[in-house]
């Protein structure tokens, strides 16, 4: 499937209302995000018997292996204050665009929201609908 964007190729999505975050806040937000992803996937695995293998390496990398042996990797990139996702459909970088009260990570190319994309990627690889949200 090909998606078209109305943005100019050199335009990067941004949210001018985003709160600036420092390194400490990035680490806090990143840890909360990764924990939420783990919890959502473990709950989905228990409920739907997806045979997922969710593991954490080095504190900032989650590897999700699906029944078909395909993998999604989610990791924080502290120097860039970004979250990177590698899935069967490609690699994606998400930049902070929210507030501490309302976290939001947007793809640097498309402007799509991280958890929505991750839910879509995981659903495709699991063969069943999954929803990943912050806890």
The answer to whether the pTM exceeds 0.75 is: yes
Q: Answer yes or no: is 15 within a domain.
A: no
* CATH code for the domain of 111: 3.30.920.10
Tokens (6 digits) for 16: 């001018």
Domain that holds residue 116: 23-126
| pLDDT tens digits along 12-67 | 555 667 999 999 999 999 999 999 999 999 999 999 999 999 999 988 999 999 99
Residue 60, classed as helix, strand or coil, is coil
Q: Answer yes or no: is 13 within a domain.
A: no
Q: Answer yes or no: is 131 within a domain.
A: no
Contacts of residue 89, Cβ cutoff 8 Å, sequence gap at least 6: 121, 124
Alpha helix segments (H runs only) across the chain: 23-48, 114-126
**Mean pLDDT calculated for residue range 95-119:** 96
Q: Number of folded domains in the chain?
A: 1
Residue 119, classed as helix, strand or coil, is helix
């Amino acid at each position: 499937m090909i998606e078209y964007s109305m943005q100019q190729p050199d335009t990067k999505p941004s949210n001018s209302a985003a709160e600036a975050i420092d390194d400490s806040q990035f680490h806090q937000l990143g840890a909360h995000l990764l924990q939420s992803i783990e919890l959502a996937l473990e709950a989905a695995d228990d409920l739907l018997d997806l045979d997922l293998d969710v593991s954490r390496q080095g504190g900032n990398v989650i590897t999700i292996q699906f029944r078909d042996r395909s993998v999604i990797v989610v990791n924080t990139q502290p120097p860039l204050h970004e979250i990177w996702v590698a899935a069967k459909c490609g690699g994606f970088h998400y930049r902070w665009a929210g507030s501490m009260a309302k976290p939001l990570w947007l793809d640097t190319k498309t402007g799509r929201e991280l958890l929505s994309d991750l839910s879509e990627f995981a659903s495709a690889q699991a063969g069943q609908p999954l929803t990943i949200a912050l806890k």
